[in-house]
Structure 1
Amino acid sequence: MHRYAAALLPLCLPAGAVSAGAGVISAPAAVTVTRAAAMAAITGDAAYFTGKVDVDARFLRLAPARVGGATVTFAPGARTTWHTHPLGQTLVVTQGRGWVQHWQGPLQALAAGDVA
């Protein structure tokens, strides 16, 4: 079982900053809450992973958003297939050990707490 922690960061804007004026942030229509029970992990797609991999895609947003993220749990021996991330990727190792490698670059060990 994995334990997760979440932080809620309130958005504080000066009075009058929330409007439709040019150069001013507009307030969203509503806050969307997705309950944990509705976000079950899925098995990693064989096109991207080998071995048993579970993907918890908790941070995906619809276009035009360009940000997303998931918690990916690899069984021993499982790995990703070679692929690219044209805008970059950040890996945060929350537990266990693994390896990371840039195309034709050196193999680098990762352990819990490391960020690549």
Structure 2
Amino acid sequence: MLTGTKKMFLASAVITAAIMPLGLMVQAAEQGQTITKNGTYATVQANAANFTGRAWVENLFRPHGTSKVYAASVSFEPGARTHWHSHATGQSLIVTAGYGYTQEWGKPVTVLQPGDVVWCPPGVKHWHGAGPDTSMTHIAVSEASSAGVTWMEAVDADQYPQ
């Protein structure tokens, strides 16, 4: 006798087999994992045209297969921050060290600390970076797109908390 869980699993397997040709199922199973070793990508200084102060970027991984997702670790020196910008597909930030800020256009500045996760929806104008006396590191996760990032003006002294 089939239980509810077994019936759902069996139905799912039948639907998957009907939709996905056998060749694709085998190909997906044979691809396996991709491991990117630490240090594979060089750490480079962030483009000074889009940042105030010094920040460092290390790509963590690039899109694989059909996935468009990529990630980078960004380390901001004290006082360093992005210019105002937006992302065509949105962006997630995972703060891993230090303290800093983020701000969405027209809204108050928010303090960030390790463990905080920020989701910035597509097309939302924002900035993020370290506090004036502390560094901050975050992992930025985005989808690659032809529209990418739209960079705008620098965050002026009146907008940046001192």
TM-score, length of structure 1 as denominator length:
0.68
Higher relative contact order by CA 8 Å / sep ≥ 6: 1 or 2?
A: 2
**Residue segments in structure 2 that go unaligned for 5+ positions in a row:** 1-12, 119-162
Amino-acid identity (%): 39
Kindly tell me: are residues 62 and 29 of structure 1, through their superposed partners in 2, closer, same or farther at Cα, counting changes over 3 Å? Answer: closer
Q: Which runs of 5+ in 1 are unaligned?
A: 1-13
TM-score normalised per structure 2:
0.51
Structure number, greater radius of gyration: 2
Which of the two has greater helix per residue? 2
| Pair 1:58–1:21, CA change in 2 (3 A) | same
Corresponding residue number in structure 1 for 2:21: 21
When the two chains are superposed, the root-mean-square deviation of aligned CA atoms in Å is 2.8
What is the CA-CA distance between 1:63 and the residue it aligns to? 8.2
Match of 2:89 in 1: 87
- Alignment pair present for 1:76 and 2:74: no
Give the partner amino acid of 1:55: V
The number of residues matched between the two structures is 99
- 1:114 equivalenced with 2:141 (yes/no): no
- 2:36–2:61 Cα contact (<8 Å) kept: no
Alignment of 1:1-116 (within 5 A): 21=21, 25=25, 26-27=27-28, 29=31, 32-61=34-63, 65-116=67-118
